[in-house]
Structures are given as structure tokens and as C-alpha cells.
Amino acid sequence: MFMMSYQLPEFVIERREDKCIKCRVCERQCAFEGHEYDEEFDRMFSYEDKCVGCQRCVVFCPTNALIIKPHPGDYRPNANWTREKLQDLKKQAETGGVILTGSGNDKGYRIYWDHLVLNASQVTNPSIDPLREPMELRTFLGRKPDSLQLEIDGDDVQITTELTPNVAIETPIVFTAMSYGAISYQAFKSLAMAASEFGTLFNTGEGGLPTELRKYGKNAIVQCASGRFGVDPEYLNCSAAVEIKIGQGAKPGIGGHLPGEKVSVWISETRMIPEGTDALSPAPQHDIYSIEDLSMLIYALKEATNYEKPVSVKIAAVHNAPAIASGMVRAGADIIALDGLRGGTGAAPKIIRDNVGIPIEMALASVDRRLREEGIRNKASILVAGGFRNSGDVLKAIALGADAVYIGSPALIAMGCTMCQKCYTGKCNWGICTQDPYLTKRLNPEIASQRLVNLLRGWSHEIKEMLGGMGINAIESVRGNRDHLRGVGLEDWELDVLGVKGAGEV
């Protein structure tokens, strides 16, 4: 029996008829079929219930005839039963399913970056002008020894300490894991190109690395996740580093599911699974039920890569992250990747995305502190992900103790994404989170990678400006330097966890 949907439209499509020239661009641009031309009436029609607010049509309309805005129509105001809660509930009553969503947590949990401020030099300590003096952002990811032993051997000074592999990056910003499959080939390639041009890294995510893109391997962190998609010796060895994915900030404790219809022949080749089959990533890694098991996988990967690559272990930021991280370092991880509450995703149950995990600021501060207390902070780098919006957030994270920052959403936004959260539908109008060739060809890797390089360049410049203001000319001197942070509008316990003083406290 037909069941009518009781959903309210989320957006209003306002077409200013005096401007519209009926060119039908909006109709072609919208994969959600929000616009339609009717020949009989010689008129454009809108279907507001289909609009996701991605703004693609607005940007492409040649006459600026369109305005898309949140629908003002609402239920009786109710602080408890908000529009979103009612809509979600109705959707479930109509489908009986788990509500899916994409991108990151959009709830109002406190964003600590907005409650932390940075320092600058005045009088007692000169600030440095980054336009006139070198400012160094080069960062090394991987394990560092406690000390270096030097020996004079003949005419030479030799380092006799055994060194473990490190990867150098030119800015402490790395593209986070986004798999080919979750995002389009074009988007994936754009990330690879930009990372390689700027001298930083991208992360393949769990979907493998297409053979013809292995030339970007030097700039790739290759993931080994619970589905083990696309993992073979060449994949591991062409990389800069290997990452074991235990969890993801947007969906801690949850696996992944790439539906069969997205598994094209190319994706099937890269993931090494039959075409058209669902790509299922189990929730846990079924060979890791304990820290000893993790250690075995870490060393298996080190063996497979001849101890030439740092091995990262990525976890979602959860309540006891510090103890877990300490175990990971002892198990042999060279990099600890932490993904916070606001980390993005291609698809996740909304209830998980919005309710599980802790903010990255708190996880980072407590993990950094714990590793220092145990005297093992230098044994692993900390990479943090989940909710970075600008270079200020990045520098604050480094001052809290991160070695570098993973960015996902900012990279997507640079390529066109508008945070419409419909990644899980496979209809991304910006050609990013989709495998539909009609949509993906909208993204030109030459142009998209340039946008990404510009983003890295802009943020790096800004970081240099802020460092110069602090009188610091090398990023390592602000790493873990919480003296350069102060909290504003935070409670005592929050300041304690972050290990910073309140503004005005000296």
C-alpha cells in the first residue's frame, strides 16, 4: 500500500522568474532532480522536497536567478522536539531503518578551538617577520630515539644509534583517509596530486591505490583496514607510511559498507573484490581482539615493508584514548592517529555520528599528556583529525601537542563540497562523493588539485604569520607548547584536561 511521506521540505527553492532564461542548467546540474523544465508550459519547475541545499545550481545558474535557503516552515516551537528530531523520527516510521548521513557531526558540542587563543610577542621578545626571515614548517612523522650516539670514525662523524624510518612533510597538514570508492577517482587523484606537489601526504583510506596512481605512493599513507581491500606487497611498499585503521571519529566501533552498485570495474580492481559485490568492512579487525594482536599486525606490516615505513594506528577518540594510545605505542606504532567526534565520513548511522566519541581537543591533550608522563611521547608522532576548519585550529592543535593535523572536510570544501551531508546517497553534485561518471567528470583533477594546493599554501602562510608573531621560526618549537595557549570561557576541569591556563592567568 502506498504510504505518504510526512517529511517537510528542508529547503526553499526561489527562482526569480524575471531573471531566469530557462537555460536548464540547474536541471542538468541537480542529481537529486530538484529542477525540471516543462516544455508544455515552457517553464522551470522546482521540487523542494528533493533539494539537499548543496547550492550547485545556484553557483552554476548563469543569471543568478536562484536562491536556495533553509525552509522557514516549521512545527510548533519546542526545545525538546526540534524539527530535526521530528523529521528523523518520521523518516524511521516510514522506513524502519537506520538513518544514514554523511560528513561530520553537526551538533552543538563545544568546539574548544573557539575557546582557545594564541599568544604573541611584545617587547621582551621580538616577533619575527615571515616575509623577511625563514619560517620552518617541516615536520617528521615517526618514532624518534631517546638520544643519538655519535662516533668519530676515521675522518667521519657517524651516528651509531639505530634509527627508525620517518617521513618528512613540508607543512604539518596531511589529507586524511578518504577512499577511492567513498570519493570519486577524480577527487582521489586530486588529493594525490596536491599532496605530491606540496610535499605532504594523502591517505588512501581503505579502498586501495589504483596502479596508475602508485607514482604518488611517496606521498601516500596506505591504509590497511578491516576489509583489507587492495592490500598487497606492492601497495604497502610504494607508500610513505602504512596505517592500520581501527576506528573512525564519525563512527567509532562501526564498520563500513560500500554498496555493490558503486563497485564498478575499476573499484573492483583496486579493492580486489568482484565487480558489483558489496564491499563490507567489519566493525573490528577480525585478527585484532587485543593489544597483542595489534602488535602482531604492526610487526607483520613492518616485516612486509622491510622496516622502511613508519606504521600508524588510527583510532576514534573515545573515553579511554590515553590508555589505548599508550598501549599502541608500546605495541610498536610509530604514529598515533586520533580521529575526533567531529570527524567526517562518506556514510555513517546518524545516531552514531552524532553521539559517540569525544572532541579531538580533549583526546589530543590527554593522549599527549599521558605519553609524556610515561616518557614515550618521542616514540610516536600524534596525528589528529576531526573538525579542523582553518589554520588557527591547526596551530592550536600543534600547541596542544599534535605533530600534524589530518584534514578531510576542508579538502573536500576546497574542491567544491558544501557540507550538504548527502555523501551516502552517491549523488554528490560536486563530483566528489559519487561514482556516477556523469557527476564525477565535473571534477577536473588539474583544477581541483590546484584548489587544494592553494588551500595548503594559504594555511601554511597563515601558520607562519602566527608563528612569527610568537617569535618562533620553527614549528617544532610550538609543538606541545601549551604556554602559548589560553582558554576563554572554559570551566576549571576543561582547562585542566587541556593543560592550559585561562586568559589573564599568568
Partner 1 sequence: MRRSRRILEPEKDMQACGLFGVMDRSGRRFDGNIAIDAMKNMKVRGNGLGGGFSVYGPYPHYKDQYAIHVMYEGGNTDAKNRVEDFLHKNFEVVNEEEVPTNSDANVINPPLVWRYFVNPEKKGEEKKISDDDYVVAKVMDINTKIDDAFVFSSGKDMAVFKGVGFPEDIAEFFMLDELYKGYIWTGHSRFPTNTPGWWGGAHPFCILDWTVVHNGEISSYGTNRRYLEMYGYYCTLFTDTEVIAYAVDLLMRRQKLPIEVVSRIFAPPMWYLIEHMDERRKQLYTTLRRVYGPLLVNGPFTFIVAHHGEMFGLTDRIRLRPITAGEKADFIFMSSEEASIRAVSPDLDRIWTPHGGEPIIGRLWEDEKKKKKEQLILEQTFR
Which residues of the shown chain bind partner 1 in the complex (CB under 8 A)?
A: 121, 124-126, 128, 133-134, 136, 138, 140, 144-145, 147-150, 152, 155-157, 159, 163, 166, 168, 372, 375, 377-378, 470-474, 476-484, 492-493, 495-496, 501, 505-506
Residue 67 within binding range of ligand SF4, rule CB under 6 A = no
Query: Minimum Å distance from CB 384 to partner 1?
Result: 17
Round to whole Å and give the CA distance between 456 and 174. 9
Instruction: Tell me whether residue 93 or residue 148 sits nearer to partner 1 (CB atom).
Output: 148
Q: Is 428 in the site for ligand SF4 (CB under 6 A)?
A: yes
Q: What are the angstrom distances between the C-alpha of 362 and each of 348, 384, 404, 418, 485?
A: 23, 11, 16, 27, 14
Choosing among partner 1, ligand SF4, none, which partner's interface includes residue 24 (Cβ < 5 to 8 Å by kind)?
ligand SF4
Residues linked to residue 383 through DSSP beta bridges, in sequence order: 337, 404
**Which of ligand SF4, partner 1, none has residue 242 at its interface (CB below 5 to 8 Å by kind)?**
none
Smaller CB separation from ligand SF4, 102 or 205? 102
CA atoms in the 13 A half-sphere facing the CB of 317: 28
Q: Spell out the residues 6+ positions from residue 245 whose beta carbon is closer than 8 angstroms to its own.
A: 177, 206, 223, 224, 225, 226, 314
Query: What's the first-to-final CA gap in the chain, in angstroms?
Result: 69
Our finding on whether 63 is near ligand SF4 (CB under 6 A) is yes
CB of 273 or CB of 423, closer to ligand SF4: 423
C-beta closer to partner 1: residue 94 or 133: 133
Q: 502, 479, 475, 478: which is closest to 489 by C-alpha?
A: 502
Instruction: Answer with the entry of partner 1, ligand SF4, none that 472 interacts with (C-beta below 5 to 8 A by kind).
Output: partner 1
* Binding flag, residue 68, ligand SF4 (CB under 6 A): no
Q: How far apart are CA 130 and CA 465, in angstroms?
A: 6
Q: What minimum distance in Å lies between the beta carbon of 31 and ligand SF4?
A: 9
Q: Of the two residues 35 and 396, which places its CB atom closer to ligand SF4 in the complex?
A: 35
Report the C-alpha gap between 288 and 69 in whole angstroms. 47
Residue whose CB is less far from partner 1, 80 or 160:
160
Name residues whose C-beta falls within 8 Å of residue 37's C-beta, 6 or more positions apart in sequence. 22, 24, 27, 43, 44, 45
Considering only 61, 167, 335, 448, the residue that binds ligand SF4 (CB under 6 A) is 61
Which residue, chain included where needed, has cell 599521558? 370
Q: What are phi and psi of 134, to 5 degrees?
A: -65, 145
What phi and psi values does residue 293 have, to the nearest 5 degrees?
Answer: -65, -40
The whole-angstrom separation of Cα 195 and Cα 444 is 16
Looking at beta carbons only, is 348 or 402 nearer to partner 1?
A: 402
Map residues 4-23 to x or -, x wherever contact with ligand SF4 holds by CB under 6 A.
Answer: -----------x----xxxx
User: Which residues sit at the interface with ligand SF4, rule CB under 6 A?
Assistant: 15, 20-26, 35, 44, 54, 57, 61-63, 65-66, 102-103, 412, 417-423, 428, 430, 432-433
